[in-house]
Amino acid sequence: MGTENPGRPSFPATPFAAAPPTMTPFSNSGSVVGSEASNLRPMRPTVPPNTSPPMTAGPAGSGESPAFRPAPPTRYNDPSLPTPPSSYGPPAAGTFNRFPTPPFGSMPPGPPARAPVVGQPPFQPPPSQVSPPLSFRPQGQIPGVPMGSPPPGVNTPQIDSSFPASRPNFQPSFPPTVSGYPAAGASSQLPLPGYVKQSNAPFQAPQGPPVQSPFQAPPVGYAPSAPTPSPQFLSQQGGLAQAPPVASPYGLHSRDQIQHSSTMPPMGAMQGLIEDFSSLSIGSVPGSIDPGVDSKSLPRPLEGDVEPNSLPEGYSLNCNPRYLRLTTNAIPNSQSLVSRWHLPLGAVVCPLAQAPQGEEVSVLNFVSSGIIRCRRCRTYVNPFVTFTDSGRKWRCNICALLNDVPGDYFAHLDATGRRVDLDQRPELTKGSVEFVAPTEYMVRPPMPPLYFFLIDVSISAVRSGMIEVVAKTIKSCLDDLPGFPRTQIGFITYDSTVHFYNMKSSLTQPQMMVVSDLDDIFIPLPDDLLVNLSESRTVVEAFLDSLPTMFQDNLNMESAFGPALKAAFMVMSQLGGKLLIFQNTMPSLGVGRLKLRGDDPRAYGTDKEYSLRVPEDPFYKQMAADFTKYQIGVNVYAFSDKYSDLASIGTLAKYTGGQLYYYPSFQAANHSEKLSHELTRDLTRETAWEAVMRIRCGKGIRFTSYHGNFMLRSTDLVALPAVDCDKAYAMQLSLEETLLTNQTVYFQVALLYTASCGERRIRVHTAAAPVVSDLGEMYRQADTGAIVSMLSRLAIEKTMSSKLEDVRSNVHLRIVKALREYRNLYAVQHRLGGRLIYPESLKFLPLYGLALCKSTPLRGGYSDVPLDERCAAGFTMMALPVKKLLKLLYPSLVQLDDYLLKPSASADEFRKVMKRLPLTADSLDSRGLYVYDDGLQIVLWFGRMLSPDIAMNLLGPDAAAELSRVTLMERETEMSRRLMGLLKKLRESDPSYHQLCHLVRQGEQPREGFMVLTKLVEDQTGGTNGYVDWLIQLHRQVQQNA
Ligand SMILES: [Zn+2]
C-alpha cells in the first residue's frame, strides 16, 4: 500500500498536493488496515441501503423485495468480512433469491395504504447469510428462446453460401468500376437472367379474405369482459370511457382489413415480380431481352417506422405504442396457433419514451386512498377495470378478481354503469399515468441523483484530447444536472495508480490522494469523495478546470482500470447512482486486466468464433452484478485506437442497464463535438433512478424471456439502476394454457423509480389486445417494427454463442417459415402457384431481415468489421427503441442538390420535399449531392460530376481537396447556411446521438466503400445478397414443401 505516486513520473502540474504522508488515511500500513477497516469503510447507512422495494405496496418485510442489500459495501480485502456477494442475475439463481421477490400474486391481501413501514427496522441479514458468489449467468443465456430451427425438409444451401463466414481476402475497397452509378451507365445489380420488365403499376392493396366475425360486437359502453362475467355484472359496470377493446377484435378493422389483408398476393409492381419469380421457378425464359427487374417498385420503408394504428376503435384506451408494442396485436388463443406463427411473440417496451406532444403523462397523487391495486395480482387500476355493485367493487382486468373500492375512492355509477367522476380520473381514462408512490414503496429515502466519474488519465487519454473535452463538458452541465439541490458528484482518475479527490466544501482546492497498492485497493477517505454538488460547487469547478493540465505531461501508459472500478464501487455503493467511465487504454494492471486476445481470423467459421464476442474474464460480469445490486448504472465511453476488448468492458454497461459509447481512435479535433453532445445528453436527460420494471399480462399467458441491457431480479423483475427515454426492452410471451378462453388479454408495464426531484413514482402503461383463433388475423395484425426489434435482439444474443453465419441463417429461416405458413393459408385456395405472398403488415420484413444480416453486429466475418466495433454496435442495438433501430437498419438517403439550388427554400420546406430514396447505388446520380443518415452518423456524398458551383459554395477552397481532410463548416453563402440548417434539423429530430458529418466524394476509395457503399443494404456488396436475390432466395425456400 502506498500513498505516494511511485508509478507516475513527474507530476508537476498538479495544483493539488498529493496527500501529505501524515494524513491519516495514508498512514495505514497494510497490516493496520484490518484493524482500521471500520474507519475506512463507507459508513453503514442509518437507513438500510436497500434499493427500492420493487413495485409493491404492503409491508416491507413481506413485500416483493425487501431490503435486498445484504451488507454495507466493504473492502474486498478485509479479511474479517466475506467477499461481497457478486452474484446477481437471471431467474432461479443468485443472491437476490435470498431476499425473495415473490410474484405479485403472492402479496398479502389488503390495500397498500394500510401497511406503513416507515421506521420499520430494515432487513439486514447477517454477514453469514450473504451468499458467496454464485456463478453468474447473463440474461442472454436464458434458455428457451430458439431463433428457430430448420423444419425438416428445408433446404438452405443458397442462404448459407451467400454469406461466407469469413472472407480473409475481402478488402473493403471498391474500385470505381464495382458499383456503377446511373451516370456511368452500369447497374450495380447483377443481371438476373430471365426477368421480364414489369409495369410500374402502383402498389395496390390486395383484397382480404371474407371475414366472418365470430362474435357480435357488444353494445357500446360495455366493458371488456372479464373471463366469466355475468350479465348482471356487465350491466352494472362502469369506468369505461368508450367502446371496450373486446368489442370487436375482428370488426374493428373491418375496413382496413378488407383493403389490406393479403389473402391475395400484393398486386401491381409486386405482382410483376411475383410472376417473374414464377417464371424463374420453372427454369427458363429463353430469349428474354431485358434481364432486369424494376427493383424500384419493391416494398421499402421509406417513411421510416410506422407505429401501428390499426387498432383505434375499441382500443383507444391503450397506451401510446411508443411505450409498448406487441409483435402482433392479435394474441393467439392456442399453442397450436403459436407454433404456426414462427415469428417472435412478445412486446417491446420503452417505459420512459418521450411523450407525444400534448400527451404528457399525468402524475397522480393518491394521498387519501392509496394507490388502487388488485389485491391478488397487484395490477394497478387502469381504464380497463370495471366497476360494479353500485361502485363498491371493481374487477381486475388482468386476473378477474373482484376487489373492494376503498371508501376514499368510491364514486357512484351513472345509468350506463360508468363512474360519475370518470372525467376527473386520468387513471381510468388514459393508458399511461404516473402515480406518486407513498412511503410503503420505499425502504430507504429516495436516493439523490448521483454522478460519479472514472477517468483514464494515461498517456493515450491525454494525447487524444479526451480529458479536456470531458472536463469542459461536465463543467458546462453542472447547472443542468437533474436533482438540484440534492445532486451528488465525485471523481476518480487512474493510470497505473488510482487517484481520489477530496471535494469537501470547506476546501478551496480539491485534495488528491493516490493509492498505488492495486491488489489491496481501499478508499483513503470515508467521506468527501462523494459530495453534494451545490455545497462543493467551487471545489468541483476548480477540479474540472485543472484536470486537463494536471496530467498533460503524464507519460504513464498503464491502466489500473479494474482496481479503479472497485474503488468507484466502494464509494458509490451507499447510494447508488450513475457511473460514467472514460476509458482509453486496455486494462493492464490489477484485477480485471485484459489480455490482448484480439480478433482472430482463424476463429471465424469455427465453433470458437463466438468466444471472441464474450468476456473472457468473469470479473466484469461480476462487477456489473454488484453494480446493479447497489443501484449503480454504468455508462462506458470508450476511445481507444487499438483493440480494447469491448466485449469484456461493455458488459459493465450491458448488465447495469447502461450504455456503451464508442469513439474509435478518438481525436478531440474531430470528435469533440460528438462526445460533448452525447455526454451532455447523458448528464442532463431526465433519468429514473433505482428503478425496477415489471410487465404483467392476463391469465393464460406469461412473459418467459427478457432481452436487452439489464439484469433480472427474480424471474420477471427487470432491475434498472438508471433508465431514461433512450432505452427499450423486449420480452417474449408464451401461452400457459392450451386454449385461452378470454377474448381480450391485457398488458401492464409498471416502472417503479425515483425521480430526480426525489419523488418515488410508478409509471404505468396499460394496453389490451384481442385473442384470436385465426392465424391469418395474427399475421394481419403483425407489427414489423416490434418483430424486427425482437429478431435483432435475439440475433445479437445468439452471436454470443454461435457463428455469425449461423445467426444470419436463422434470421433468414425464420422469415421463410413465417412466409411459408402464410402461404399455406391461402395459396392453394387461391391457386397462387409460384407467387411470393405475404401479409401487407409484413411487407417490409424481408428487407429489414436482410438489413439485419448486414448490420454491424451480424455482417460478414473477420475482415468486414473490427471486433470492438461489432461488439459496440451489438450493445447499442440491444437498447435502441423501435424507431431508432429501424432507422439504423434502413437509413435515410436523400438527394440535396435540387433543394440547395432552389432560390428561397427553407429547411421547413425541405421537410416537405424530402424524399427518401432506396438504399442502392442506383439511387446515386453522379451529378448529385446526397445525405445519408442512419441516426448515428451522417455522410454527405458528392457526385463526381456535381456542379462545381455547389461544391464551392459548400466547401470553399476545400472543394478541390481530398474530402477526408475537409471539415464541413458554415460559410458565408446561402447554400452553406441552408445545408447547415438542414443538418441541424436532422440532428434535432433525434437527439439521442450526435451524428458527425463525414464527407466523401464518389470514387474516393476506400472511404466511399465503407462509408456509403457497404451501407447500401439493397446492393450486392462484398459477396452479400442484394434485395432482389434475397427475395428470390426467400421465395424459393418458401415454395419448398409449401
Ligand atoms: Zn388482479
Cα(225) to centroid of ligand 1, in Å? Answer: 14
| Model confidence band, residue 61 (pLDDT cutoffs 50, 70, 90) | very low
- Check residue 428 and give its pLDDT: 97
Phi then psi dihedrals of residue 279, to 5 deg: -70, -35
pLDDT of 446 reads: 95
Taking the centre of ligand 1 as the mean of its atom positions, its distance from the CA of residue 854, in whole angstroms, is 44
Contact 555, 510 (CB under 8 A): no
Measured in Å, residue 353 CA sits from the centre of ligand 1 at: 26
Q: How far is the CA of 328 from the centre of ligand 1 (A)?
A: 24
Cα of 929 vs centre of ligand 1, distance in Å, is 58
Among 46-55, 352-361, 721-730, 997-1006, name the one with the lowest average pLDDT. 46-55
Question: Ligand 1 mean position to 397 CA, how many Å?
Answer: 7
Distance 401 CA to ligand 1 centre (A): 5
Between the CA of 965 and the centroid of ligand 1 the distance, in Å, is 63
Instruction: Tell me the C-alpha distance between 124 and 761, whole Å.
Output: 25
Beta-bridged to residue 828, according to DSSP, are none
421 CA from centroid of ligand 1 (Å): 23
Ligand 1 mean position to 396 CA, how many Å?
Answer: 5
Spacing, Cα 307 to ligand 1 middle (Å): 29
Question: Which of the four pLDDT bands, split at 50, 70 and 90, describes residue 862?
Answer: confident
Position 918 scores a pLDDT of 95
Span 437-449, pLDDT tens digits? 998 888 789 999 9
366 CA distance to ligand 1 centroid (A)?
19
With a pLDDT cut of 70, the percent of the chain lying above it is: 69
Nearest-angstrom CA–CA distance, 434 and 735: 29
- pLDDT for 923-940, tens place per residue? 999 999 999 999 999 999
**Interacting residues of 369 by C-beta distance below 8 A, sequence separation 6+:** 111, 113, 406, 407, 408, 409
395 alpha carbon – ligand 1 mean position (Å): 8
Cα-to-centroid distance, 70 and ligand 1 (Å): 31
What is the 381 CA–ligand 1 centroid distance (Å)? 9
pLDDT in tens, 345-396: 999 999 999 998 899 999 999 988 899 999 999 999 999 999 999 999 999 9
CA 455 to ligand 1 centroid distance, Å:
48
Q: Give 402 Cα–ligand 1 centroid separation in angstroms.
A: 8
Q: What is the pLDDT of residues 233-262, one digit of tens each?
A: 333 333 333 333 333 333 333 333 323 333
- The answer to whether 60 touches 682, Cβ cutoff 8 Å, is no
Ligand 1 centroid to Cα of residue 699, in Å, is: 9
224: CA distance to ligand 1 center in Å?
14
Whole-angstrom CA distances from 914 to 892, 893, 905, 942 are 10, 10, 12, 18
Separation of alpha carbons 675 and 668, rounded Å: 9
1035: cell is: 421465395
The rounded Å distance from CA 786 to ligand 1 centre is: 27
> Rounded to an integer, what distance in angstroms lies between the CA atom of residue 130 and that of residue 107?
25
Distance 1017 CA to ligand 1 centre (A): 47
Provide the pLDDT for residue 20: 36
Distance (angstroms) between ligand 1 centre and the Cα of 388 equals 15
Q: How far is the CA of 330 from the centre of ligand 1 (A)?
A: 22
Share of the chain above pLDDT 90, in %: 57
Distance (angstroms) between ligand 1 centre and the Cα of 346 equals: 21
| DSSP conformation class of 644 | -
pLDDT at res. 708: 96
The single-letter code of the amino acid at 938 is: I
Residue 380 Cα to ligand 1 midpoint, Å, equals: 8
**The pLDDT of residue 135:** 36
The pLDDT score that the predictor gives to residue 29 is 31
Instruction: Report the mean per-residue pLDDT for the chain.
Output: 76
Please name the residues in contact with 54: beta carbons below 8 A apart, sequence gap of 6 or more: 63, 64, 65, 101, 692, 694, 713, 714, 717, 752
Going from the Cα of 746 to the center of ligand 1, the distance in angstroms, rounded, reads 11
Q: Could you read off the pLDDT of 6-31 as tens digits, one per residue?
A: 334 333 333 343 333 333 333 333 33
Contact 234, 283 (CB under 8 A): no
Whole-number Å distance, alpha carbon 760 to ligand 1 midpoint, is 23
For residue 378, the CA-to-ligand 1 centroid distance in Å is 6
Residues 6+ apart with CB under 8 A from 190: 1020, 1026, 1029
CA distances from 235 to 220, 284, 387, 979 (A): 12, 66, 10, 62
Cα(532) to centroid(ligand 1), Å: 43
Rounded distance from Cα 56 to ligand 1 centre (Å)? 14
Amino acid at 88: Y
Ligand 1 center from residue 398 Cα (angstroms): 5
User: CB of 207 within 8 A of CB of 258?
Assistant: yes
The residue behind cell 479535433 is 669
Mean pLDDT confidence for 215-230: 34
How far is the centre of ligand 1, averaged over its atoms, from the C-alpha of 96 (Å)?
Answer: 25
| 10-14, 175-179, 500-504: range with highest mean pLDDT | 500-504
Whether 601 and 654 have beta carbons less than 8 Å apart is answered as no
Exposure string (b/e) for 515-543, b if CB count within 10 Å is 16 or more? bbbbeebbbbbeebbbbbbeebbebbebb
Distance 510 CA to ligand 1 centre (A): 55
Q: Could you tell me the three cell numbers for 730? A: 423486449
Give the span between the Cα atoms of 430 and 417, in whole angstroms: 18
Alpha carbon of 696 to ligand 1 centroid (Å): 10
Report DSSP state, residue 318. Answer: S
Ranking 147-161, 542-556, 710-724, 761-775 by mean pLDDT, the lowest is 147-161
Identify the pLDDT of residue 712: 95
What cell does 624 get? 456489473
Q: Is the dihedral of CA 876, 877, 879, 885 positive or negative?
A: positive
403 alpha carbon – ligand 1 mean position (Å):
8
Coil/strand/helix, residue 435: strand
Instruction: Work out the pLDDT band at 306, boundaries 50, 70, 90.
Output: confident
